[in-house]
Amino acid sequence: MKKKCYILLAFWLFIACSPIVDTSPQFADSGMFDISKAIEYLDKIIEHDQKNAEALFQRAKLELQLGRTSKAKSDILAALTEDPLNLNFLLLKAKICEQMGQLQESLRTIEFIQEKGMNLSTVESQLFASDIYMKFNNLSKADYYLQKAASNAPHFPNVLFQRARYYALGHDTLKAMSFYKLLFQKDSTHADGLMGVSEIFFTKNQPDSCLYFLSKIQENKNLVYNILIAKTLMALNRLDSASYWWEVALQQSPRLAEAHYELGKYYLVKKNYSIARAHLASVPENERSKYVDFSLLFAKVSYNLSDSANAAYYFKKALELDSSLFRQEKQIVKKKSKIFIDSAK
């Protein structure tokens, strides 16, 4: 019995006194430890000491790596309760909020750090602050942190990427492209850089060049990538391929209005009216006004599905929104059904 007590005591001393494990993404990617097992280890520490801020912080980092942002935020908020002015904790909170799309809270956290006179001394933190300010189009604040990062690591690929992005946002395409060139000399597969160049070519109405750089991206094919490749293929009139990528985008964001709208138009042309109507009906009410021909499209789909009531209703809406648009279609409508003529009166 006494031996068991000593073993138990030794175990708890090991848990309480052991250094917190390295939870950096680089260490995790090296395969030197299993993230789930590391979380289990931290669970035991926190179960023994619920106010262990460092353990909560480390677990939050791991949860974030696994994409469990709600759990990560819960842990980092608990850690900040114990140590509210810990710079590393505050930065992790800002990153978690950014990942969750809570950009205002992320920005408030960065500004709280500044108000408390804490110094963002690492290149990583400087780039993160710059990125947040760029998302709010505050280019002067973004430039402040970007210059700090550039002075610390002028040739670091992510610094070059952020500088290119900064100039692109400021509509200085030549400078942006010069930094992208420097970036690709260092890392020709930099996914964010390839996306950035693709976006520039798309805005410059050069879809072939845009598609060329998009084709080089092998990872990080996120929602932004799927939307851009769909738009690029549409610009090249490759509508079948574009529809595939809109469908992929919907798998990631099922309520994406633009994807439903474009697929509604696509299936109308293909005369697959049921699917066309399903997509158009999925465009949220508060976003339909973005698309001037939405009501006309819905009317055409409804007519072809013999839904005369909805056809008339949406033709009236089309007329109210854009009378010239309706007149362009009136001759076609006149041949099809008297109900549409009546709706125009």
**Residue 75, Cβ density class (10 Å: 0-12 exposed, 13-18 middle, ≥19 buried):** buried
Contact in structure between 315 and 297 (CB atoms under 8 Å)? no
Give the per-residue pLDDT at 221. Answer: 84
Residue 37 lies in a domain: yes
**Assigned domain for 205 exists:** no
Q: Of 174, 182, 178, which Cα lies nearest the Cα of 153? A: 182
Q: Is residue 108 part of a domain?
A: no
Residue 65 located in a structural domain:
yes
pLDDT digits (tens, 9 = 90+) for 2-43: 443 433 333 333 334 444 445 455 444 444 458 888 999 999
Q: Is residue 127 part of a domain?
A: no
pLDDT at 325: 57
For residue 244, being part of any structural domain is answered with no
Domain total of the chain: 1
The answer to the question of residue 311 being in a domain is: no
Please check whether residue 13 lies inside any domain of the structure: yes
Residue ranges in the chain modelled with pLDDT below 50: 1-21, 23, 26-32, 331-332, 335, 337, 341, 343-345
CATH of the domain at 16: 1.25.40.10
Instruction: DSSP letter for 122, please.
Output: S
- Give residue-wise pLDDT tens across range 286-313: 999 999 899 999 999 999 999 988 988 8
Q: What is the pTM of this model?
A: 0.77
Domain of 38, in residue numbers: 1-99
| Alpha helix segments (H runs only) across 18-102 | 25-29, 35-48, 53-65, 69-82, 87-99
To the nearest 10°, report the CA torsion of 259, 261, 262, 263: 80
Q: Are 219 and 244 in contact (CB under 8 A)?
A: no
pLDDT at 220: 74
